[in-house]
């Protein structure tokens, strides 16, 4: 049994319209927050993945070159009569306070 209740129909239309409006506001709020976050993160000093990979490859190549040079230096030191010990680092002086 269905009744024709104009008040109920108007209420349903109102709720449907409000739900659509709230959903639209939520989408706009999400888009605004996403844009604000993108702007904030864009201002930070982040690097792209490509830049990171390029620097990582450069560091690996430098490390390999360093290892090769270390081996070469050790071979040259062995040729000139043995490796000389590296000088010890000077101990830092203790600061004299007003204690």
pLDDT tens track for 4-45: 678 888 888 888 888 889 889 999 999 999 999 888 887 787
- The answer to whether residue 2 scores a pLDDT higher than 80 is no
- Are residue 36 and residue 52 in the same domain, yes or no? no
23 belongs to a structural domain = yes
Confidence (pLDDT) at 99: 44
52 in Cβ contact with 59 (< 8 Å):
no
26 belongs to a structural domain = yes
Per the document, the length of the chain is 99
To the question of pTM greater than 0.75 for the whole model, the response is no
- Tell me the residue range of the domain where 14 lies: 7-45
94 belongs to a structural domain = no
Q: Which alpha helices (DSSP H) does the chain contain, by range?
A: 6-42, 49-79
Q: Quick: pLDDT tens for 60-73.
A: 999 999 999 999 99
70 belongs to a structural domain = yes
98 belongs to a structural domain = no
- Are residue 63 and residue 36 in the same domain, yes or no? no
């Amino acid at each position: 049994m269905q009744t024709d209740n104009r008040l109920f129909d108007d209420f349903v239309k109102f709720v449907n319209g409000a739900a659509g409006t709230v959903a639209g506001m939520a989408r706009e709020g999400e888009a605004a927050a996403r844009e604000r976050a993108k702007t904030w993160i864009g201002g930070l000093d982040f690097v792209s993945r490509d830049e990171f990979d390029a620097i990582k490859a450069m560091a690996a190549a430098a490390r390999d070159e360093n290892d090769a040079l270390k081996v070469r230096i050790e071979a040259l030191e062995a040729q000139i009569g043995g490796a000389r010990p590296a000088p010890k680092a000077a101990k830092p002086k203790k600061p004299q306070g007003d204690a």
